[in-house]
Amino acid sequence: MKPFTKLTAIAAPLLRINIDTDAIIPSKEMRSVGKHGLSAGMFANWRYSDPSNRVENPEFILNGEPYRRAEILLTGGNFGCGSSREHAVWAMREWGFRAIVAPSFGAIFRGNCVRNGILPVVLTDNVIKSLSVEVEANPHINRITLDLPKQTLISSRGISYSFEIARADKEMLLLGLDPIGITLRSDEDILAFTRADRVKRPWVYL
Amino acid sequence: MPRTLIDKLWDEHTISDLGDGATLLYIDRIFLHERTGSVSLKGLQEAGRKVLHPEQVFCTMDHIVDTFPGRGDETVMPSGKDFIVTTREAALEAGINLFDIGDERQGIVHVVSAEQGITLPGFTQVCPDSHTCTLGAIGALAWGIGSTEGEHALATKTLVVSKPKVMCVKFEGLLPYGVTSKDMILFLIGKFTAAGGSGYAIEFTGQGIKALPQESRFTLCNMAVEFSAFTGLIPPDDTTFNYLEGRPYAPRNEAWDSALAHWGTLKSDDSAAFDAEISIDCADIVPLISWGTSPGHTVAIDGTVPDPDAAADDDERAAWARAQEYMDLFPGKKMEGLSIDAAFIGSCTNSRLSDLREVARVVKGRHVAEGIKAIVVPGSSQVKNLAEAEGIDAVLIKAGFEWRESGCSMCFFAGGEHFGERERVISSTNRNFENRQGPKTRTHLASPTTVAASALAGKIADVRKLGNDS
């Protein structure tokens, strides 16, 4: 997975609250067992006026220029709530998103983001609305920069906003890491835990 | 220092503190299903890794399988068979416990895990499905994860998890007649919004909770995720222990006694501090029905669709307006009496034997209204068998309901069987998102008895008005 350090990209505003993962990737679009081939299904019920025949809805923001090439999404609170389907993140990643900026995220969705190279940025609703206004004024030119090492978002006018991110999540994104490999380095600790636990709670160990 | 139950479970499973609020936690049980389990197992295979302790990993077929009588690997969903076959092959190769199609233990993952005694008090349990929180009703710390985290749990028996804050939601008093645990959780979400639990793990307490039979507790915890909570749990008590005793994977004899002694300690200390507290009087709760496209969009069964101008802020006002347009409703419209096209009883929320018994009681001697498609999907093959032994299936079929094999069925539209465009469906499920049960399908969430009463009337109905036959 490609490391995420710094990104300057076109941003698209989709300022609805509670966008759930059924909307991001309808169940019907999750056709194959794998993690790929999902980008065409992203936001399918909004993006297409006829999802079965992929007839594009010209009103939907991501179908317009330059938003078709957006890599950053600006959106409303509780983004990614609902079902745990990681396919929502895979679809967005494959389509081209590398970061999502929202006042809050569905917890499972947020965890899926950092495991798949998408940076979830939490900023206030007011900030996001003002960023959206800036972007919409001239989306081709008014791009947003994200600096993960410095945990900063910089608007096209040069205004900086700090954001929080858990150290473990930041590390995963910065290094494009494989979380399993990292944990297996703690195998001594895990073994010590289970040895003691088997005595305390034998009914766990079938 | 006084600790909450969630603190105790967190501490008990901590392998190491990774700093910054992140912990390496031991995961006691992992449950998979054919839709996302196959992805996790395949991912592991591709990375050349093995499942650690497969004897503690379980898998069932629920999300994609059809529910028509005599169903098998072939599915209405075009690629469904791939998921089923891939999952089966990967499960057998990994040596995990598989409850396949045709196995008496097959069913909806969060129904099966409890009825088989796989989830026990104090366990940490994960599944690549958001309604894993259902199992918090056993007093376990259970939550939904993605497929990639699933791979991690399978390969290492651990997960790196950030500790949520802890909230106490206390239900005081007792439920009025006709009101169920489904209404309790819908009430909480309606009052505090679908994002109200965000960032919290919730402990449900109070007289109203203790009075709930075990199966009703699953319904309540099931929708903790719709409150955006990390999970919800109920401290285990005699109701829980009586439910679990003798179940296939529960400990027996001396092991049972030891476990029981440990489980008795699984409660919050008296002076433990919570990060947030909510108190609800059960007397305030009535049968509820959703009008919109979020589980928070509910009103009393005898209420009306609210005016978007009454919403808390601009974002919510826009959301309400959009939802009402989608649902073809308008402010002031009475919910009771609204015509429906279909009624669905099933899902990990409400499909257990006690739910089916209640539905049978409501519909016995009556019939589904003309033109209404009414379906009952039992939560597991075991529930189905037990229901049939009691004659519940006969009552339901006589009343005009379809009686299905077990599975998630039309809780959501996966490309297989679904409800029609713009059909109005009243459903005992947990999500009423746009297009959830079918293209442009309009979903109204309610308790199974409200769904049953509405199926009989052909319109949204108040089950309390049906008269007490029992």
Over residues B377-436, the pLDDT tens digits come to 999 999 999 999 999 999 999 999 999 999 999 999 988 999 999 999 999 999 999 999
Chain A residues in contact with B255 by the CB 8 A cut-off are 202-203
pLDDT-derived band at A175 (thresholds 50, 70, 90) equals confident
Check residue B368 and give its pLDDT.
Answer: 98
Question: What is the pLDDT averaged over residues B95-101?
Answer: 98
Q: Which residues in chain A (93-112) have CB-CB distances under 8 A to chain B?
A: 104, 106-108, 111-112
E strand spans, A84-182: 99-102, 119-122, 144-147, 152-154, 160-162
**Architecture of the domain spanning A6-176:** Alpha-Beta Barrel (3.20)
Check residue B283 and give its pLDDT.
Answer: 98
Chain B residues in contact with A108 by the CB 8 A cut-off are 130, 143-146
Q: Which domains does chain B have, with CATH numbers?
A: 5-162+237-257 (3.30.499.10), 165-236+268-284 (3.40.1060.10), 288-466 (3.30.499.10)
B444-453: b (≥16 Cβ within 10 Å) or e: bbbbbbbbbb
ipTM: 0.88
Check residue A185 and give its pLDDT.
Answer: 83
CA distance B440 to chain A (A): 9
Check residue B14 and give its pLDDT.
Answer: 98
What is chain A's mean pLDDT, rounded?
94
Structure tokens at A161: 């906003």
Q: How many CB atoms lie within 10 A of CB B301?
A: 24
pLDDT-derived band at B457 (thresholds 50, 70, 90) equals very high
pLDDT at B331 over 60: yes
Q: Number of CB pairs < 8 Å for A and B?
A: 182
Chain A residues in contact with B128 by the CB 8 A cut-off are 84, 86
Check residue B37 and give its pLDDT.
Answer: 87
Question: What is the pLDDT averaged over residues B39-51?
Answer: 91
Three-state SS string over chain B comes to: CCCCHHHHHHHHCEEEEEECCEEEEECCEEEEECCCHHHHHHHHHHCCCCCCCHHHEEEECCCCCCCCCCCCCCCCCCCHHHHHHHHHHHHHHHCCEEECCCCCCCECHHHHHHHCCCCCCCCEEEECCHHHHHHHHHCCEEEECCHHHHHHHHHHCEEEEECCEEEEEEEECCCCCCCCHHHHHHHHHHHHCCCCCCCEEEEEECHHHHCCCHHHHHHHHHCCHHHCCCEEECCCCHHHHHHHCCCCCCCCHHHHHHHHHHHCCCCCCCCCCCCEEEEEEHHHCCCEEECCCCCCCEEECCCECCCHHHCCCHHHHHHHHHHHHHHCCCCCCECCCCECCEEEECCCCCCCHHHHHHHHHHHCCCCCCCCCEEEECCCEHHHHHHHHHCCHHHHHHHCCCEECCCCCHHHCCCCCCCCCCCCEEEECCCCCCCCCCCCCCEEEECCHHHHHHHHHHCECCCHHHHCCCC
Over residues B103-156, the pLDDT tens digits come to 999 999 999 999 999 999 999 999 999 999 999 999 999 999 999 999 999 999
pLDDT-derived band at A59 (thresholds 50, 70, 90) equals very high
Over residues B223-241, the pLDDT tens digits come to 999 999 999 999 999 999 9
Q: A17: which DSSP letter?
A: S
Question: What is the pLDDT averaged over residues B200-207?
Answer: 98
A152, β-bridge pairs: A147, A162
Q: Does B151 contact A83 at a Cβ distance shorter than 8 Å?
A: no
pLDDT at B468 over 60: no
Say yes or no: A37 contacts chain B, CB-CB below 8 A.
Answer: no
Q: Which chain A residue's Cα is nearest to B123?
A: A204
pLDDT at B469 over 70: no
Percent above pLDDT 70 for chain B: 99
Q: Does B259 contact A78 at a Cβ distance shorter than 8 Å?
A: no
Check residue B470 and give its pLDDT.
Answer: 42
Over residues B365-378, the pLDDT tens digits come to 999 999 999 999 99
Q: How far apart are the first and last CA of chain B?
A: 50
Q: Does B155 contact A180 at a Cβ distance shorter than 8 Å?
A: yes
Over residues B57-95, the pLDDT tens digits come to 999 999 999 999 999 999 999 999 999 999 999 999 999
Check residue A172 and give its pLDDT.
Answer: 87
pLDDT at B456 over 60: yes
Question: What is the pLDDT averaged over residues B95-99?
Answer: 97
Q: Is the dihedral of CA A45, A50, A55, A60 positive or negative?
A: negative
Q: Does B258 contact A202 at a Cβ distance shorter than 8 Å?
A: yes
The model's pTM: 0.91
Check residue A34 and give its pLDDT.
Answer: 83
Check residue A137 and give its pLDDT.
Answer: 97
Over residues A70-84, the pLDDT tens digits come to 999 999 999 999 999
pLDDT at B33 over 90: yes
Residue type, B248: P
Chain A interface test: which of B13, B39, B88, B293 (most A C-beta within 10 Å): B39
Structure tokens at B307: 């005016």
